[in-house]
């Protein structure tokens, strides 16, 4: 392994091994495909038959979208386990990319069988791909920890560049040319990412190959770690029962609604409670029972720190449930309730801004590409040619889009366009937040969550104010675009307070041998948040019919601000529970 790492660091691009940028572009195309498809999914389901959509009620689209994004995070538990124990990170990435390529190809065919099949392929593909790219980076920098932060910063720039380009270009083709074009483009670039990675795989040496079996008999436990707390058969039973019921509920929710009750696993009532609600309450109760049994069995410090993690996980669930309104209820708000037609000087200004935010990031990424070519083209020609072809296509579509936009008398903003603001804000403001965290003004973990939830609430308050004049039950309106620009700004600021630091605190608070398990629980919390986002989206329809759309956004504002106040109030308590971890 030492020689592999030394060889990796011989050929550097921007101070880091060229292999990091192979991962950068692979991840960029994966995020391009994921966010590009995601930007279109709800709009495709809810578009009228005349617009070549499926004409679904919004509630059905939100239900299946919540289940899809939830399963994407749950599947990382399977992909991570398979990579760690069976096939290695490299083959896991390959399998994941291949499954996602097949999934996007299915989506482009648009028939019910292929759309549903495509979503299944995408769920499992994401599960194999998502956790294992960062695992390869971790292995690459195991002996260079001082450079790891910089490596992850570069890598996450690739994540956001891919999300930005995917939403911008897949969204444009899907809305303006045809849904199949948007879904298909996502698949083409996932294929490019797969080929580019596989033909350059030798650059990693033995890093990420099939794991070697460890001899557990020689393993020694760190004397500083708490004593073992093995799971009993009863506790394992609780885990499987709770997980099984929860998974069944996640899958049954959209199926029962879309089929209008024809297919429903929980078609019963008990004491006036419908079966679906009763089952999810049961799953939650079993999980809480498990926590109640296990936590007291740890030593005092470990128990306290795990309670702190559970509190952070609770906030995380509601953070993502509100934040992920972006591809669901906020996208519908952009399409149906926002005045996206600009005229006169406003149109000219927007076209210029749109051109700058398209071309400048592409120029920066192309510069990085050329630097990579200079180090790897001779040795990994096929991989670099695929990468070059992908950029030729990206530039062609981007320039065609700008040409089309500039030739219009007015500026009509695509509904999906607002989604790129999140990536732009992250790229712009992430360095400032990083400096803040490194300064003497670095807030405690609890205060970061409090600030993040407060910013999330402010964002929702903006769109609530914007929606205040929309009549109850209205299906269309013409609200100013400024409210969506503001909501994405404040939500991104909130994300920068919570998302990047979350797993860092988990790794600091739990014993080393428990990190993998707690990361799994953390992804479970995110998955619950994703599904809850779909549930919230469904509720928006009923609330907008009875109290107005603005009331829905005010409710989400109250939830976010409420958790912010709770985090602030409990800050001294959580600080004591963390026992010196900062």
Residue 37 sits in a domain whose CATH number is 1.20.1250.20
- What value does the mean pLDDT take over residues 440-460? 93
Whole-number Cα distances in Å, 102 to 67, 71, 114, 138: 20, 18, 10, 28
Contact 164, 423 (CB under 8 A): yes
370 within some domain: no
One domain, residues 266 and 132:
no
CA-based torsion, 444, 448, 450, 455: positive or negative = positive
- What value does the mean pLDDT take over residues 416-439? 89
pLDDT band at 520 (very low <50, low <70, confident <90, very high): confident
345 within some domain: no
One domain, residues 305 and 285:
no
One domain, residues 420 and 566:
yes
- What value does the mean pLDDT take over residues 264-272? 90
Asked if pLDDT for residue 220 goes beyond 60, the answer is no
Distance between first and last Cα of the chain: 32
One domain, residues 202 and 290:
no
Q: What is the largest CA-CA distance in the chain?
A: 75
Average pLDDT, the chain: 90
Tokens of 383: 């991989």
Residue 226's pLDDT is what?
66
Alpha-carbon distance 546 to 531, whole Å? 24
One domain, residues 199 and 303:
no
Alpha-carbon distance 184 to 37, whole Å? 9
Whole-number Cα distances in Å, 103 to 118, 187, 194, 386: 4, 8, 13, 21
Alpha-carbon distance 488 to 171, whole Å? 17
Whole-number Cα distances in Å, 490 to 54, 74, 362, 426, 466: 33, 28, 25, 11, 15
352 within some domain: no
One domain, residues 323 and 447:
yes
> 3-class secondary structure for 245-289?
HHHHHHHHHHHHHHCCCCCCCCCCEECCEEHHHHHHHHHHHHHHH
Of 212, 246, 262, at which residue does a domain stop? 212
Over residues 25-70, the pLDDT tens digits come to: 999 999 999 999 999 999 999 999 889 999 999 999 999 999 999 9
Contact 257, 60 (CB under 8 A): yes
- Our count of domains for the chain comes to 3
Is 298 in a helix, a strand, or coil? coil
582 within some domain: yes
CA count, 13 A, side-chain hemisphere, 562: 9
- What value does the mean pLDDT take over residues 172-177? 96
Of 241, 270, 297, at which residue does a domain stop? 297
CB within 8 Å of 362: residues ≥ 6 apart? 165, 394, 395, 398
Asked if pLDDT for residue 1 goes beyond 50, the answer is no
Over residues 350-407, the pLDDT tens digits come to: 999 999 999 999 999 999 899 889 888 888 899 999 999 999 999 999 999 999 999 9
CB within 8 Å of 466: residues ≥ 6 apart? 479, 480, 482, 483, 484
Domain that holds residue 422: 298-340+416-582
One domain, residues 576 and 449:
yes
Asked if pLDDT for residue 219 goes beyond 70, the answer is no
Asked if pLDDT for residue 221 goes beyond 60, the answer is no
pLDDT band at 527 (very low <50, low <70, confident <90, very high): very high
Residue 280's pLDDT is what?
92
Residue 516's pLDDT is what?
66
Residue 381's pLDDT is what?
92
- What value does the mean pLDDT take over residues 442-457? 93
220 within some domain: no
Of 435 and 116, more confident = 116
Asked if pLDDT for residue 211 goes beyond 80, the answer is no
One domain, residues 491 and 581:
yes
Asked if pLDDT for residue 234 goes beyond 80, the answer is yes
319 within some domain: yes
One domain, residues 202 and 105:
yes
Asked if pLDDT for residue 408 goes beyond 70, the answer is yes
Residue 2's pLDDT is what?
54
518 within some domain: yes
Of 212, 241, 276, at which residue does a domain stop? 212
Tokens of 115: 């759309």
One domain, residues 451 and 521:
yes
388 within some domain: no
One domain, residues 264 and 135:
no
Asked if pLDDT for residue 292 goes beyond 70, the answer is yes
- What value does the mean pLDDT take over residues 568-574? 94
One domain, residues 284 and 165:
no
């Amino acid at each position: 392994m030492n020689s592999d790492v030394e060889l990796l660091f011989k050929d550097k691009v921007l101070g880091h091994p060229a292999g990091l940028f192979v991962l950068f572009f692979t991840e960029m195309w994966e995020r391009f495909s994921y966010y590009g498809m995601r930007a279109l999914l709800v709009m495709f389901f809810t578009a009228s038959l005349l617009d070549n959509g499926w004409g679904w009620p919004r509630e059905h689209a939100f239900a299946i979208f919540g289940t899809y994004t939830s399963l994407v995070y749950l599947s990382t538990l399977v992909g991570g386990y398979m990579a760690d124990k069976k096939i290695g990170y490299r083959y896991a990435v390959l399998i994941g990319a291949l499954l996602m390529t097949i999934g996007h190809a299915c989506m482009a065919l648009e028939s019910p069988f292929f759309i549903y099949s495509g979503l299944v392929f995408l769920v499992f593909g994401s599960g194999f791909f998502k956790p294992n790219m960062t695992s390869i980076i971790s292995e690459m920098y195991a002996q260079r920890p001082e450079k790891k932060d910089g490596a992850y910063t570069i890598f996450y720039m690739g994540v956001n560049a891919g999300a930005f380009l995917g939403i911008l270009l897949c969204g444009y083709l899907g809305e303006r040319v045809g849904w199949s074009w948007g879904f298909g483009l996502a698949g083409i670039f996932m294929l490019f990412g797969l080929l580019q990675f596989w033909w350059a795989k030798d650059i990693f040496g033995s890093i990420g190959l099939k794991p070697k079996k460890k001899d557990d008999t020689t393993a020694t436990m760190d004397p500083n770690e708490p004593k073992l707390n093995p799971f009993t058969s009863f506790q394992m039973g609780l885990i499987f029962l709770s997980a099984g019921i929860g998974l069944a509920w996640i899958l049954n929710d959209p199926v029962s609604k879309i089929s209008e009750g024809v297919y429903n696993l929980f078609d019963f009532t008990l004491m006036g409670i419908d079966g679906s609600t009763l089952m999810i309450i049961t799953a939650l109760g079993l999980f809480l029972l498990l926590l109640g049994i296990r936590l007291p069995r740890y030593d005092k410090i470990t128990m306290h720190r795990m309670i702190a993690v559970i509190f952070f996980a609770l906030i995380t669930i509601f953070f993502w449930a509100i934040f992920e309104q972006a591809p669901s209820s906020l996208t519908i708000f952009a399409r149906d309730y926002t005045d996206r037609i600009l005229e006169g000087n406003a149109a000219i200004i927007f076209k210029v801004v749109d051109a700058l935010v398209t071309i400048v990031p592409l120029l920066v990424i192309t510069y990085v590409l050329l630097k990579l070519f200079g180090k790897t083209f001779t040795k990994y020609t096929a991989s670099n040619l695929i990468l070059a072809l992908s950029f030729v296509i990206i530039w062609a579509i981007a320039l065609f889009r700008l040409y089309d936009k500039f030739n219009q008398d007015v500026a009509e903003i695509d509904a999906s366009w607002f989604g790129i603001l999140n990536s732009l804000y992250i790229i712009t403001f992430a360095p400032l937040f990083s400096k803040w965290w490194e300064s003497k003004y670095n807030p405690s973990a609890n205060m970061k969550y409090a600030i993040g939830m407060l910013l999330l609430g402010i964002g929702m308050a903006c769109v609530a104010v914007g929606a205040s004049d929309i009549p109850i039950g209205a299906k269309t309106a013409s609200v100013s675009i400024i409210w969506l620009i503001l909501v994405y700004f404040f939500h991104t600021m909130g994300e920068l307070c919570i998302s990047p630091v979350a797993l860092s605190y988990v790794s600091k608070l739990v014993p080393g041998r428990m990190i993998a398990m707690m990361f799994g629980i953390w992804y479970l919390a995110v998955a619950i948040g994703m599904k809850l986002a779909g549930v919230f989206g469904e509720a928006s329809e009923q609330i907008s019919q009875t109290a107005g759309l603005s009331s829905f956004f005010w409710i989400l504002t109250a939830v976010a601000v409420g958790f912010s106040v709770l985090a602030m109030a409990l800050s001294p308590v959580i600080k004591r529970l963390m026992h010196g971890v900062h």
